[in-house]
Amino acid sequence: MEENKYKWVETGDWSVCYMEEIESTNDVAKNFAKCGNKDHTAIVANCQTAGRGRLGRSFLSERGSGIYMSLLLRPDILPVEASMMTLLAGLAVRKAVLELVGLDTQIKWPNDIVCGGRKLCGILTEMAAKPQGIEYVIVGIGLNVCQKHFQDELCKVATSLYMETGRMFERVEIIDKILKCFDEYFQIFLKTHDMSLLKDEYNMAMVNFGKEVCIHRADENYLAVAQGINTAGELLVEHKGVPEKVVSGEVSIRGVYGYV
């Protein structure tokens, strides 16, 4: 790719690479990681032509409408701890939106931020590990900011900061705030290498805490009552009176009557 397609900006501990259009910032971040780029590099695109979500879904990334950003991290943590980076990113987005926009959002474990029952942000975490430990973690964040409406199947489940407030926001300010908040939560996480110190805050923000949810796995669907996360970041549920732990991997959680 030509050099003039990139613009690098330093903010706090982060080197942020702004791009106009790319297939997926997660893929660019992976390539950067393979080329040796350092920890705390963020890739931001104004538009993604092949934005990806969890479980093989796509993520609509219209030009100039949202924040499409991937964090390249090389944390000194165990591979089993990597999934908690999604939870830290969720807390960081929630805090940034609360403090900058004044909107009190909720978290749908493990990777969505919701407002008024609709999805405002999705997070896709990917990792490469070697026997010695983590090589890199990519935390991809897609936050709907300026969209005035959504079409087709997204119309009932998606929202944006504009749709919630009637106001437009400078995406760069939100990006800076998310990066700062992520660092704050990551420092807290590092004290225990788990969610011990953040579990209560996370559970208070969880949209389906105490509610019946439908758990979808490749081979089964069942109803259970969500009871918050444990210190490992797993979702605790009660299924037919029996407590169970749900690991984020290949599972999706839906409300009994719809998205939440």
Interatomic CA distance for residues 125 and 70, integer angstroms: 9
In angstroms, rounded to a whole number, what is the distance separating the alpha carbons of residues 158 and 117?
Answer: 9
Residue from 41, 65, 70, 248 in contact with ligand BTN (CB under 6 A) = 70
Among 16, 19, 41, 52, binds ligand BTN (CB under 6 A): 52
Instruction: Report how far residue 178's alpha carbon sits from residue 171's, in angstroms, rounded to the nearest whole number.
Output: 10
Which two structure tokens, joined as six digits, stand for 111?
Answer: 């990777």
Closest distance of CB 158 from ligand BTN, Å: 10
| Total site size for ligand BTN, rule CB under 6 A | 20
Q: Does 123 bind ligand BTN (CB under 6 A)?
A: yes
The reply to whether 140 sits near ligand BTN by the rule CB under 6 A is yes
The region of 77-85, 117-125, 208-216, 230-238 touching ligand BTN under the rule CB under 6 A is 117-125
Residue 228 interacts with ligand BTN (CB under 6 A): yes or no = no
Q: CA 210 to CA 165: how far, in whole Å? A: 28
Q: Which of 68, 136, 189, 202 binds ligand BTN (CB under 6 A)?
A: 68
Q: What are the residues whose beta carbons fall under 8 Å from the beta carbon of 212, sequence distance 6 or more?
A: 223, 224, 225, 226, 256
Q: Which residues contact 231 (CB under 8 A, 6 or more apart)?
A: 192, 194, 195, 196, 199
Of 48-56, 205-213, 215-223, 232-240, which part binds ligand BTN (CB under 6 A)?
48-56
Q: Binding of ligand BTN at residue 32 (CB under 6 A)?
A: no
Q: Report the C-alpha gap between 257 and 260 in whole angstroms.
A: 8
Which window, 134-142, 163-171, 173-181, 228-236, contacts ligand BTN (CB under 6 A)? 134-142
Q: Which of 59, 109, 182, 186 binds ligand BTN (CB under 6 A)?
A: 59
The helix (run of H) or strand (run of E) holding residue 72 is strand 66-73
Binding footprint of ligand BTN on the chain (CB under 6 A): 24-26, 48, 51-54, 57, 59, 68-70, 111, 122-124, 140-142
